[in-house]
Amino acid sequence: MTERITKAVIPAAGMGTRFLPATKAMPKEMLPVVDKPAIQYVVEEAVAAGLTDVLMVTGRNKNALENHFDRATELEDALAKKGDTVRLKKVLESTSLADMHYVRQGDPLGLGHAVLRANMHVGMEPFAVLLGDDLIDERDELLSRMLIEQGRRDASIVALMEVPPEQIHLYGAASIEQTGEPDVVRITGMVEKPSADSAPSNYAVIGRYVLKPDVFDVLRVTSPGKGGEIQLTDALKTMAEDVAGTGGVYGVIFRGRRYDTGDKLDYIKAVIQLAVDRPDLGPDLQSWLVGFAARLESR
């Protein structure tokens, strides 16, 4: 019987340089996707999969993250006094979502280092890692499937997505072997951000992982890799090769809707796609978009 996983780790210490000047005084995780900060979607995804204990690995200038998931009594009182129950509910939602914990990364030594900072909180249990730049559409299943595979195989699990070869240099890439089960593959090797011609495949690691705690010991002895940073991908490569010791690494292939909010163009697309699906905004936005696109065509 495997233990139920309850902990999610969300690395959120990055400087968000791609969104400057918006992120000069505000964490990139607080950028609104329609009317919710990107980070709230990620916490909601963890909670929907049963992970109610959330540890954020933060850094300097990230106080807004803690404030967002905390009570805002003055605001709550003001809304209550006005009888604005709809907005009050929205304000309270992020407060009661999960049991939130925070640790600072200190030195920005890479994603592997950020995950290692979670060791004290996570202890010796399997846990999930969710990267804030990737949003997974709540209508498409991913994390709960990964949790099931983790329990079934007693291995570490990563989410994989097929990307066009010219995009693989933006991701960790995996070499894979079929398992006989659809959409679950065994990972035999991993490379962080390879060039298109040296990539082992066009299966990219997207920002969801369910890891065995062995990863902490591996990370402790992982040398800096790509960009001089301690890479989670490099630790997972070691675990994928050492099947006997750590249970190996498997990939769950995701074919659903994923939005990348870490890139400016993809961020704009994410906002539009999610807004079009919203009952309060969708119909008006859609008819405007259709007209706008027609005007662009005739330019």
214 HSE (CA, 13 A, CB side): 19
Assess contact for 156 and 212: CB atoms under 8 A: yes
29 binds ligand G1P (CB under 6 A): no
Q: Which of 174, 206, 230, 240: binder of ligand G1P (CB under 6 A)?
A: 206
Grouping H, G, I as helix, E, B as strand and the rest as coil, residue 180 is: coil
DSSP H stretches of helix in 14-99: 38-48, 63-68, 73-82, 85-93
Judged by CB under 6 A, the chain residues 224 through 263 that form the site for ligand G1P are 233, 262
Q: Which is nearer to ligand G1P, 122 or 131 (CB)?
A: 131
Site string for ligand G1P, 42-81 (x = CB under 6 A): ----------------------------------------
Scanning 54-62, 68-76, 114-122, 205-213 for contacts with ligand G1P by CB under 6 A, the matching segment is: 205-213
Give the interface size with ligand G1P as a residue count (CB under 6 A).
13
Q: Which of 192, 209, 249, 270: binder of ligand G1P (CB under 6 A)?
A: 192
172 binds ligand G1P (CB under 6 A): yes
In 12-164, the DSSP E strands lie at 32-33, 36-37, 53-58, 99-104, 127-130, 134-136, 156-162
Cα–Cα dist 246/237, whole Å: 11
133 binds ligand G1P (CB under 6 A): yes
Give min distance, CB of 210 to ligand G1P, in A.
Answer: 15
Q: Which is nearer to ligand G1P, 127 or 254 (CB)?
A: 254
Measured between alpha carbons, how far apart are the two ends of the chain, in Å? 63
Assess contact for 23 and 15: CB atoms under 8 A: yes
Q: How many residues does the chain have?
A: 299
Q: Which of 129, 131, 155, 187: binder of ligand G1P (CB under 6 A)?
A: 131
Give min distance, CB of 214 to ligand G1P, in A.
Answer: 19
